Chain A
């Protein structure tokens, strides 16, 4: 158990819909990262938040957005869903003490199926 929690575990929805994935980082971790893993794309970095501020963006679509709240939990919002958005979505957290990055701790993931 990494200490990172993600909800829901599974999500099935239709094309065109909007969903919100939630992540709670390990206690004390200030950074949250979101990743998408699909069968044909591998593990793709989406976005990184540190203490409520966006720090880096990866291959995140404009239809997707994220935020990190004052209690440090994060939400990933996916809208206008397409079949190709079906994937495992992982959240990771790390301490990120100034310039030392250290390791990331991954949650169990949310499996999104768009039908």
Chain B
């Protein structure tokens, strides 16, 4: 599975959009980009995933560059409850492949 690179930490003002970048320059054609977050010591929570096209759901938007070498997770209106560690993961669409969570980005939403 491709490796990902994320900034260690970011701050965002409450009510503003939080844009979390992820680099995955060695991504393969069959690998999806997944985003999860972990609030304190709770179990990680799935946010969104995509292959090529941009995706949006009730939690966030995922923007994947045309060459698929990087992506951005967008939380449109960050709240204090969005303070968490955000993990970007790339994984092939096939059972038997592992999930590598990496170190993630610690997002702090500031009042």
Residues of A within 8 A of B (CB): 2, 4, 31, 33, 35, 42-45, 48, 50, 55-56, 58, 88, 90, 92, 96, 99-109, 111
Contacts and interface: CB of A to CB of B under 8 A. Distances in A.
Contacts of A96: 95
Contacts of A105: 46
A43 B93 contact: no
- For the side of the interface on B, what is the size category? 20 to 34
Contacts, number: 64
Interface SS, A side: strand
Interface in B41-100: 41-46, 49, 87, 91, 93-100
A107 B38 CA distance: 12
Given A90-B44, A106-B45, A108-B43, A101 B93 contact: yes
Given A42-B101, A42-B102, A101 B41 contact: no
B84 to A, nearest CB: 13
A5 to B, nearest CB: 11
Contacts of A88: 41
A96 B99 CA distance: 14
Contact of A99 (B42, B46, B87, B95): B95
A45 B99 contact: yes
Contacts of B100: 45
B103 interface: yes
